[in-house]
């Protein structure tokens, strides 16, 4: 009887282990699905970010850097070399691919008024 109980315990233990493995497999599949979704979303956002950066660059170019005064052209060159030109962070390094709306404001503010309010 003792040997029979021992065999039953082993089978019970194997059944529990099998059940746990099945649960872990299901959890792993769910995590893989979530990871794939996150990676796809990340890829979409990366592409969208690149397109937005290109659009911003085109708008800056269209705004006419030639219309900038000498001082603002100098600020613009510093900004494109990777330095902040805004009051808040003046002289600090920009992170790679970082843009700063305050720097844009410092460089391009007042251009619309100079051009008669036309964009």
Retrieve residue 19's tokens: 């059940």
Asked whether residue 48 falls in the same domain as residue 71, the answer is: no
Same structural domain, 80 and 101: yes
Is 57 inside any structural domain?
A: yes
Residue pair 118/73 in contact by the 8 Å Cβ criterion: no
**Above 70 in pLDDT, residue 27?**
yes
User: How does the average pLDDT of the chain come out, rounded?
Assistant: 85
- The Cα–Cα gap between 86 and 103 comes to 5
- Give the side-chain half-sphere CA count within 13 A for 16: 6
pTM of the model: 0.45
The per-residue pLDDT for 117 is 44
Strands (E), 1-119: none
pLDDT tens sequence across 90-103: 999 998 888 899 99
Q: Which comes out higher in pLDDT, residue 91 or 117? A: 91
Beta bridge mates, 83: 93
Picking from 45, 63, 81, the residue at the C-terminal end of a domain is 63
Question: Does residue 82 sit in the same domain as residue 51?
Answer: no
* CB-count exposure of residue 60 (10 Å: 0-12, 13-18, 19+): middle
Range of the domain at 30: 1-63
Q: Using pLDDT thresholds of 50, 70 and 90, give the confidence band for residue 86.
A: very high
């Amino acid at each position: 009887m003792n040997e029979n109980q021992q065999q039953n315990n082993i089978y019970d233990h194997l059944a529990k282990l099998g059940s746990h493995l099945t649960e872990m497999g299901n959890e792993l599949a769910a995590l893989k699905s979530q990871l794939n979704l996150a990676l796809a979303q990340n890829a979409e956002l990366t592409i969208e970010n690149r397109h937005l950066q290109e659009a911003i660059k085109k708008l800056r170019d269209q705004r006419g850097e030639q219309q900038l005064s000498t001082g603002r052209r100098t600020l613009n060159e510093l900004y494109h070399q990777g330095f902040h030109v805004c009051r808040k962070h003046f002289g600090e390094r920009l992170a790679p691919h970082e843009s700063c709306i305050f720097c844009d404001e410092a460089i391009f503010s007042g251009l619309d008024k100079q051009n008669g309010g036309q964009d």
